Amino acid sequence: MSLRKKVLLKVIILGDSGVGKTSLMNQYVNQKFSKQYKATIGADFLTKEITIEDKAVTLQIWDTAGQERFQSLGTAFYRGADCCVLVYDITDTKTFDSLSGWSEEFLGQAAPQNPADFPFVVIGNKLDLQNDRSVPPAKAQAWAESKKFPSFEASAKDGTSVEQAFRKIAENALARESTQQPYVIPPIVLDNKETPAQEAAGCAC
């Protein structure tokens, strides 16, 4: 029996507080949207399994707090990431202006092997509030293109472009994985059945 290759991709979502990072993740994973805003404390994650080119892909999507007081937690959560999603609110110019800082901070703390080639994807959220827009689409697209980042405008509320954006995220992360040594966790095989339990368990860190 041939088993499809299983891949785990760690995705980090960054952006200012209130741009809708949690809502985007919940819409993508659970097809749910809540009007009640609750700030993320530290970080949280959800997983979703998808198939890309006959590969079984598990996306582990980390939603991080946008408040400055939690940014010191960054290094632990950013390490080992396969892709980073930068989110801004199309009705709030300040959140768009913050994207450069978020991308630089991520690269500084995550320390990927090839920072210049690391896959980022930009999402302008709250497309359902089009009438309140303050970030012109052309401005956002020009910035993303200058960085060679794919960009989307989406709505976590009604689901517009959310699926497409996350699929692009997974495809880019997979493409990167194929060009470098993947991180593989080997199965534990016990040759000696009398091995003490604590030695067999290994380190969970």
pLDDT in tens, 18-29: 999 989 988 988
* Contact in structure between 148 and 118 (CB atoms under 8 Å): no
pLDDT (0 to 100) of residue 176: 76
CA distance 105 to 75: 9
Q: Enumerate domains of the chain plus CATH numbers.
A: 6-201 (3.40.50.300)
Residue 205 three-state SS: coil
> Which residues in the chain show pLDDT less than 50?
1-2, 37, 40-42, 67-70, 182-188, 190, 192-202, 204-205
pLDDT for residue 40 = 47
pLDDT, position 109: 86
pLDDT (tens digit, 9 = 90+) per residue, 123-153?
Answer: 999 999 999 999 999 999 999 999 999 999 9
pLDDT of 83:
92
pTM (predicted TM-score): 0.78
